Structure 1
Amino acid sequence: MGFGDLLDRMLGRAPATPDEERMVLPAPPTAEDVYAALDQTAELLASSALPSAVVARAGRVVDTVRDTVPRLRRISGSDLGYTVVATATDYLPEAIGAYQRLPRRYADTRPVDGGKTSLMVLVDQLDLLGVTLDRVFDAVYRDDARELVAQGRFIAEKFGHAGAGGSLRVDGVQAPLPAMPEDPDDPTGVVAQVGVTPAAPADEADGPARLTPPEGAR
C-alpha cells in the first residue's frame, strides 16, 4: 500500500479504481459523421436568412469538403485529414453560428475588429477556409492525377501514338497500316484486288471500253 492510499483511507476517501484512472477518448469522426455535419450546414444555409456572400462562400467550403471525404481514410491521421474533419464538424458551423447569434443590425453595421463588422470578419474566415480546403483537395487528389498521367504515358508507349499514322504496337511488333497502291491507273486498288485488267481505250466507233476478265474465268 502506498502513502497516497494510506492518506486516502485516513481522510475517508476511496482510492481511484483502475477504470476511473483510465482516460477514455472519444472515437474520431467517421466519414458518415462528416457527411452528417455537412448536411446540417447545408440545411442551415438553405433555411436561414443569411447574406448571399455568406451562403456562396460557405456552400463552396461544403462542396469541397464533400468531394474530399471519399479519400478521408487515405489521409486519416494526417494534418490534411484533421483539417477536413475539423472544418466540417467545428470551424464552419461554429463560424456561421457565432454570426447568427448576433442581431443582424449589430453584426452587419458595428465595427468589431479593426473597422470590420462581424459580417466582414465572417466573410474573411470563409474565404480562408475556402482557399485552405482547395489546397487540401488538390493535395489529396494529386496522387490520383499523377497515376492517371503515368498510365496514359504507359499506354502511349505501349501502343504507339496517333501521329505515327495509326500504327499499332502489340507484343513488341509494330504493325503499320497497309500501303496505298502506287498504280496511277488504279488509284482505288480494285483492279489489283480482283485480278481484273483494264482493256485498252476503245475508239469511238468501237463502242465503250470493256473490262477483260482474267484467264480461267471464261
Structure 2
Amino acid sequence: MNDTTGVPDADHLRTSIQEQARLLTGPDVSDVVRVRVRRALHSAGDLLELSGAEPARDVAARTVAWLAESVGAFQRLPHGFAGGHAVEGEPAPLLRIVDELDLLGLTLDHAYDATRRGDDAALDRQLDVLRERYAVRTSPAAVVRTAVVPPTDVDQEVVADRGLEVGADGIPRVPVPDQPDAHHETQEPAR
C-alpha cells in the first residue's frame, strides 16, 4: 500500500476517493458543500491520473484525509445550526466550510498545474499550503482502507498453551466460554 515515504499508492488512493465520494456527497449534504467536495475529489483523482509520483500522491492523500475529517464533522452538525448559527466574530459553519473548500479547490488546481509543468518547487509550495491550512489529526495513510493481513509468525506452541484456535485467515480465535443452560431455573435460597 505505501512506499517508503508512507504515502499510499495511487490505486489505494483512487479507491479511497471513490469511498469518500459516496460518504461525503450524499443527500444529507448541502448542495453548496456537495458540489465543492465533488470538485476536490475529482481534482485529487485527476492529479493521480496525471502523475503517480510521491508529491502528487501526497497532495491527493492529504486532500482525502482533510475532507474525511472536516466535511465528516460538518455533516454531524445539526442542519439548522450548521447553516445559521454563528459565534460572534466568526462565520456560520456552512460559510466556513464553503470558504475552506473553495480554497482547497484552488490549491488543487495550482498543484495540478505545477505537476503538469513539472515545477517541483511550485508543487512543494502547494503541499506546504495543504500541510499548514489543511492539517489533519489522522494520518493520510490511515484514511486508505487496508486489507487485514494474517500474521505469518503465529507461534503454534503459544496458541496451544492458551487454548486458542487459529482460523483459516491466520487470526487466533478466543474460545467462547461455556454458556449456562437456558432451561436452568434458579432457586431462591431458603429463608
Give the TM interval when normalised to the shorter protein: 0.5 to 0.7
CA distance in 2, matches of 1:113, 1:95: 21
Please name the residue that 2:82 is paired with. 107
Two-structure CA RMSD over aligned residues (Å): 2.4
Structure with more strand by fraction: 1
Q: State the TM-score, normalized to the length of structure 2.
A: 0.54
2:42 aligned to 43, 47, 63, which one? 63
Structure 1: any 5+ residue segments left out of the alignment? 1-24, 145-218
Letter in 1 for 2:103: L
Contact 1:112 1:118 in 2 (8 A): no
1:48 aligned to 20, 24, 27, which one? 27
Matched, 1:34 2:13: yes
109-118 vs 130-139, greater mean Cα deviation: 109-118
CA deviations on 1:21-66 (whole Å, 9 max, x unpaired) are xxxx994311122112211221124433211110111111111111
CA distance in 2, matches of 1:87, 1:31: 13
Q: Structure 1 94/56 Cα, relative in aligned 2: closer, same or farther at 3 Å? A: same
47-56 vs 116-125, greater mean Cα deviation: 47-56
CA distance in 2, matches of 1:38, 1:44: 10
Which structure has more relative contact order (CA 8 Å, sep 6+)? It is 2
Structure 2: any 5+ residue segments left out of the alignment? 120-191
% same residue = 31
Matched, 1:142 2:107: no
Q: Structure 1 26/68 Cα, relative in aligned 2: closer, same or farther at 3 Å? A: closer
Please name the residue that 1:199 is paired with. none
CA distance in 1, matches of 2:5, 2:117: 31
Contact 2:8 2:57 in 1 (8 A): no
Please name the residue that 1:125 is paired with. 100
Q: State the TM-score, normalized to the length of structure 1.
A: 0.48
How far apart are residue 70 of structure 1 and its match? 2.4
Find the structure with the greater CA-based Rg: 1
The count of corresponding residues between Structure 1 and Structure 2 is: 116
How far apart are residue 100 of structure 1 and its match? 1.0
Contact 2:33 2:98 in 1 (8 A): yes
